[in-house]
């Protein structure tokens, strides 16, 4: 299955997005939120996978304000350096504005409901998407810095899953405890913990990829989307 590049119009300008549709052409929508490597092959593959499961998936280029078209891997030191530079320059609040615009763009192409899934930086953004947009269901994988945004959780009105890696090098144990404690009173939030896994355990080909845990998390996410978006 191959997708296409489309233009997304936001309040601050237009930016690209990778769109993948199911064979039927229609279905519920899912916004796929990038890691710090841009809309790369891993993210495009995730869109294609969701399309194969009956969803219309759209991954927006959230680094467009810094440098449009970032498409790098996690394989070289130079690419990691570039990725962290982009992460440092990235404006999270503007990212949420762009995700809201992506949801608006995607919704007319779907059967009505639109969710979001994000990884790493995108995991934090998926959490904030649940807090600040009209996403119908959101999923965050190993989101960074969520512990610093727990006050935003009052805005969560629709279902949210967070997948947390127990040995996440970017989310220390203390931060994980804060996240769990800070969200435990919210009936919309489900947290799954993977005690022996490190950051990006669900990124195929990544250093910490664990197929068993990735398959488990992905199955949970898929069932969640089919329940809440179908």
Active-site residues, by number, are: 168, 199
Write the CA distances from 80 to 155, 164, 176, integer angstroms: 33, 22, 24
Sheet containing 189-194: which strands, arranged edge to edge? Answer: 4-10, 13-20, 56-60, 29-33, 114-119, 138-141, 160-165, 189-194
Residue labelled with tokens 């690419």 = 79
Write the CA distances from 199 to 83, 129, 211, integer angstroms: 15, 21, 13
Tokens of 82: 């570039």
Tokens of 35: 């890691």
């Amino acid at each position: 299955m191959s997708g296409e590049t489309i233009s997304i119009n936001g309040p601050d300008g237009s930016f690209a997005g990778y769109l993948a549709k199911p064979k039927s052409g229609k279905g519920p929508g899912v916004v796929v939120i990038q890691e710090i490597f841009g809309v790369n092959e891993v993210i495009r593959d995730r869109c294609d996978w969701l399309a194969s499961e009956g969803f219309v998936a759209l991954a927006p280029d959230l680094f467009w304000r810094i440098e449009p078209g970032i498409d790098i891997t996690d394989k070289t030191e130079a690419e990691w350096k570039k990725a962290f530079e982009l992460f440092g320059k990235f404006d999270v609040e503007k990212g949420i504005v762009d995700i809201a615009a992506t949801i608006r763009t995607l919704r007319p192409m779907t059967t009505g409901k639109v969710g979001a899934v994000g990884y790493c930086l995108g995991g934090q953004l998926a959490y904030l998407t649940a807090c600040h947009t009209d996403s119908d269901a959101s999923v965050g994988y190993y989101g960074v810095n969520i512990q610093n945004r727990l006050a935003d959780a009052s805005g969560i009105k629709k279902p949210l899953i967070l997948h947390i890696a127990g040995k996440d090098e970017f989310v220390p144990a203390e931060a994980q405890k804060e996240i769990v404690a800070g969200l435990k009173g919210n009936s919309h939030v489900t947290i799954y913990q993977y005690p022996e896994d490190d950051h990006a355990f669900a990124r195929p080909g990544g250093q910490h990829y664990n197929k068993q845990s990735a398959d488990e998390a992905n199955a949970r996410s898929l069932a969640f989307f089919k329940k809440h978006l179908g």
